[in-house]
Structure 1
Amino acid sequence: MPNLPPSSSALLTSPAFHTVEGAYTALLQLVSKEPERRIDARGNTGREVLGVSFRLPDPRQRLPYLAERKVNPVFQYAGALWHLAGRRDLEMIGYYAPSMRASSTDGVHLGGSAYGHTLFGLGGGSQSPFDRVIDLLLDESDSKRGYLPVFSTTELADRSNPDVACLAGLHLLPREGRLHMICNMRATNLDYGLLSNVFACTMIQEYAAIQLGLDLGGYTHIIGSAHVNDYNAARVHRVLSEAASRQPLRFPFPSMPEDTTAATIADLLTHEEALRTNELRYTVEHIQTRLGLAPYWQQMVMLFELQRQIQHDQVAAVDPALLHALDPGLRWLMARKWSACAAATAEDPQ
């Protein structure tokens, strides 16, 4: 007689976390303290665990609040917008993350890490893969076919390729009025890539749910090789020490507006470019009353204006009114990421 599990509990799905911070610190703890093996891939030594996963019942809880990690919400939003627009240019994303320039083979474009280009780009056709899957799911309830592949073995044709896609694909699953999504990653540097991957992918999930007229469902993240490189070990130790020393901070994260479309993304890109290139500067009043954007998207533009002040004006303290207009969680993150924001927070009488 075959060996059977003692109960269905032996086949439970991935562990669930209230926030991405909980999943992040749990995975850091697992891989740094209980690794399955040591690895040395292309000179990057580290510790690894194979085949890990977790769930976020509320994918909007996509930001961690850890002083030692100093997540940059400007980059998180810019990256999500870059992916939703189907772009792969360095001109935009390199402004927010200069280190990504090292992954470009031509100094102009990115390859596998520009997975939004694979998902939302036309690729010579008349419809993007994302739009084809949305059309499918609009017609087929409970469909299992809504899979969007990203990684391609053609990326391995050049062994020196510095930018092979870490994202294998996204699986969209509409069930009982909610859109669930499973994200399959071939590999993830937990300290460096996990947080930006989850932020962008859950934004794509929420955007897809709106296009389908569905509520946001759960998010499942699966990683083939979950690893921590040795050069990140010191920060990982500090992050875990901080997480163990206090209760997690919780800030509300609003819902994406139900009228969000591709035109919304295009409008946001116009404002992003004007601020990134320092052609315009915005006040709080201008953003809130003259751009015609929902409050949700106003927050993104405020972050881009703060980045403009830091990058172009090189101010000792950013506009405190602008910083105060941010949602509390974003304000907390900005004050810990940038000294100019911390100075403005200290000066703000409110």
Structure 2
Amino acid sequence: MLTAPTYRSVEGAYLALLRLASTNFEQRIDARGNAAREVTGVSFRLLDPRQRLPYLKARKANPVFQYAEALWYLAGRRDLEMIGYYAPSMRAGSADGVTLGGSAYGHTLFTPADGDTVAPFDRALDLLRTGLDSKRAYVPVFSARELEDRDNLDVACLAGLHLMERGGRLHMVCHMRANDLDCGLLSDVFSFTMIQEYASIQLGLELGPYTHTIGSAHVNDRNAERVKTVLHEADVRPNPLSFPVTSMPASTGPEVLERVLEHEEALRTNTESYSAKDIADLGIEPYWQQVIVLFEIYRQIVHDQTDAVSPDILDALDPGLRWLVEHRWVACAPTGGVGR
């Protein structure tokens, strides 16, 4: 018997939690001026964590930011130079204007702590390589030290990730101290399931279920109208959209991520521009080519100040990603940042 509601994709979980917090909320809260409706102690499970993208016109999910954030985490980075390009609003959480603190989950997971030579995430993987059925591969992210400064604007929402090998599959349980259900949940699940899939490849395991648990699950009042529109769309559409999903290539490791990030930086800094043929000739797996196509699309929007993405680039996208791009940037007009 499963202990958490199970969904085919993140979209189903997202809609269910929005309905819960909108109509059956437990209390109203107003933390730091953010009035919200809240439920506590909720969870859900995705049997196929690759189903990490929602297809809702009213929500306009942003695959450019989602892949950028996932790569930023996997690279163990904390700099605003990269992530601030895709989401300028994140700059508000920085104490020094250069780096992020608690929300730079990847830095905590993939960078060795002071005095150590092994990253916490790598240590967890080493444990799973030698200890089948282990329950100890838990990687904490939130630190009690973050609460010492009452004015800290960037306290980690992610408490930690729990990795478990069961029956040849890698399960992961994510523990969140808090989740903004409309703005943060989709990006968090996208990135964490990418991390889970990456870990499964390093361990040579099949991808198992992903479970997401939340202490404070809330919808901010300022987003209430959008939430209402999203739920109405879900209620009246004939059938949910579904697109084929692909698996992260078995060749994916630190070297592959480094190559993808080299192309990301070249496009972000506008030192390169790619046609679809250029990307196809880069010598990397088609899975990661799709991500570079997304970054080229955003380069055109930001740097070329174009009102239309190049047709060859748009045509190079898989159907699901193309649908998301077309419904987020109808005219592909320049913006100040794509945000979450």
Q: 2:171 aligns with which of 180, 184, 198?
A: 180
Unaligned 5+ runs, structure 2: 334-340
Q: Is the 8 A contact 2:306 2:332 kept in 1?
A: no
2:28 corresponds to 1:38: yes
Look up the match of 1:88.
78
Q: Counterpart of 2:60 in structure 1: which amino acid?
A: K
Look up the match of 1:280.
272
Q: Is the 8 A contact 1:134 1:208 kept in 2?
A: yes
CA drift of 1:341 comes to: 4.4
Look up the match of 1:70.
60
Q: Is the 8 A contact 1:71 1:337 kept in 2?
A: yes
* TM-score of the pair, normalised by structure 2: 0.96
CA drift of 1:91 comes to: 0.4
Q: Counterpart of 2:277 in structure 1: which amino acid?
A: E
Q: 1:79 aligns with which of 69, 83, 103?
A: 69
**Identity over aligned residues, as a percent?**
66
- d(CA) in 2 for partners of 1:279, 1:339: 26
The one-character-per-residue Cα deviations of 1:177-233 (angstroms, maximum 9, x if unpaired) are: 100000000000100100000000000000000000000000000000000010010
2:229 corresponds to 1:238: yes
2:246 corresponds to 1:254: yes
2:144 corresponds to 1:153: yes
CA drift of 1:338 comes to: 1.1
CA drift of 1:340 comes to: 3.7
Q: Is the 8 A contact 1:323 1:341 kept in 2?
A: no
Q: Counterpart of 2:130 in structure 1: which amino acid?
A: D
- d(CA) in 2 for partners of 1:82, 1:276: 13
Look up the match of 2:320.
329
- d(CA) in 2 for partners of 1:68, 1:201: 24
Look up the match of 2:292.
301
SS of 1:188 mapped into structure 2:
strand
2:225 corresponds to 1:198: no
Look up the match of 2:134.
143
Q: After TM superposition, which residue ranges in structure 1, 4 or more long, deviate above 2 angstroms?
A: 339-342
Look up the match of 1:126.
117
Look up the match of 1:47.
37
Look up the match of 2:258.
266
CA drift of 1:123 comes to: 2.3
- d(CA) in 2 for partners of 1:310, 1:300: 16
Q: Is the 8 A contact 1:121 1:129 kept in 2?
A: yes
1:92-131 matched pairs, under 5 angstroms? 92-124=82-114, 125-131=116-122
SS of 2:303 mapped into structure 1:
helix
Say which one has the larger Rg: 1
Q: Counterpart of 1:286 in structure 2: which amino acid?
A: D
Look up the match of 1:338.
329
- d(CA) in 1 for partners of 2:300, 2:308: 9
Q: Is the 8 A contact 1:310 1:340 kept in 2?
A: no
Look up the match of 1:5.
none
- d(CA) in 1 for partners of 2:119, 2:70: 17
Q: Counterpart of 1:266 in structure 2: which amino acid?
A: E
- d(CA) in 1 for partners of 2:147, 2:167: 39
The one-character-per-residue Cα deviations of 1:248-276 (angstroms, maximum 9, x if unpaired) are: 11011100000110111111110000000
Taking only aligned residues, the RMSD between alpha carbons, in angstroms, comes to 0.9
SS of 1:116 mapped into structure 2:
helix
The one-character-per-residue Cα deviations of 1:300-330 (angstroms, maximum 9, x if unpaired) are: 0000000000000011111111111101010
Q: Counterpart of 1:219 in structure 2: which amino acid?
A: Y
SS of 1:239 mapped into structure 2:
helix
SS of 1:184 mapped into structure 2:
strand
SS of 1:313 mapped into structure 2:
coil
Q: Is the 8 A contact 1:315 1:340 kept in 2?
A: no
- d(CA) in 2 for partners of 1:138, 1:326: 36
* TM-score of the pair, normalised by structure 1: 0.93
Specify which structure has the bigger relative contact order, considering alpha-carbon pairs within 8 angstroms and separated by 6 or more residues: 2
The one-character-per-residue Cα deviations of 1:5-41 (angstroms, maximum 9, x if unpaired) are: xxxx6xx410000010000000000000000011111
